[in-house]
Amino acid sequence: MRKRFPKLIIANAILFCAIAADAQFFKPKSGLQPMRSAVDLIKKQAPLRVNQALLAKISPGDVHVIISLGKQRAYLMVGEEIVVDSPISSGKQGHTSPSGSMHILEKDPNHFSSLYGDFVDSSGRIVRAGVSMHIDAAPSGTHFQGAAMKWFMRLTDEGVGMHVGILPGYPASHGCIRMPSDGAKLFYDHVKVGTAVEVQPAA
């Protein structure tokens, strides 16, 4: 007498075949690359590097700063030696960071932008995020709250400076030089108002 497969085994076999067929049907076309996450992009930038031996010897009167828009790096320098090498995110297309010889004009540990931020209600709830003070109209019952710019070091009278910010791995700011928190703090602690800053253009 021929043995019969249990119904459960047959059902599982049919399900497996259906899944395999779907996998082939929905397989991406050759040459298409999967979307990369923000984490993958961040990993492209080398992490913060610090020469601890030099850092222990310097004072704000000894240093100068070089910012490379092409390399997306900021360097705290003593002479020709790099003390701190930090990743950055500079101004995106249409908001390119200015280049040239500058100086630190102001230091503010808890600065807030007067141009970019969020509209919040009376309870502090964000109603509309990522707005421009001069372009976006405030929704009824809200007020403008400037974006936090921790460890702010002003470079221009127009408001461009170095400060803590998100680093997606490419130029993404409205002109400022975004830095990781630990990098911004190191620069802030070792520069003074008047410290020379050279911003090198991308090309």
* 119 phi and psi angles, rounded to 5 deg: -95, 125
pLDDT at 102 (0 to 100): 98
Question: What does the pLDDT look like over 78-107, one tens digit per residue?
Answer: 999 999 999 999 999 999 999 999 999 999
The confidence band for 24, taking pLDDT boundaries of 50, 70 and 90, is very low
Q: Is 21 a residue whose pLDDT tops 60?
A: no
Question: Pick the residue with more confidence: 25 or 133?
Answer: 133
Give start and end residues of each alpha helix (H) in 26-154. 38-42, 52-55
Residues 134, 137, 141, 145, CA torsion sign: negative
Question: What does the pLDDT look like over 147-194, one tens digit per residue?
Answer: 778 999 999 999 999 999 999 999 999 999 999 999 999 999 999 999
Strand partners, 112: 148
Question: Pick the residue with more confidence: 161 or 123?
Answer: 161
Distance CA(77)–CA(56), nearest Å, equals 13
User: What is the reported pTM?
Assistant: 0.74
Burial of 57 (0-12, 13-18, 19+ CB in 10 A): exposed
Contact by Cβ (8 Å): 100, 69? no
Distance CA(3)–CA(125), nearest Å, equals 68
Question: Pick the residue with more confidence: 162 or 25?
Answer: 162
Distance CA(16)–CA(21), nearest Å, equals 9
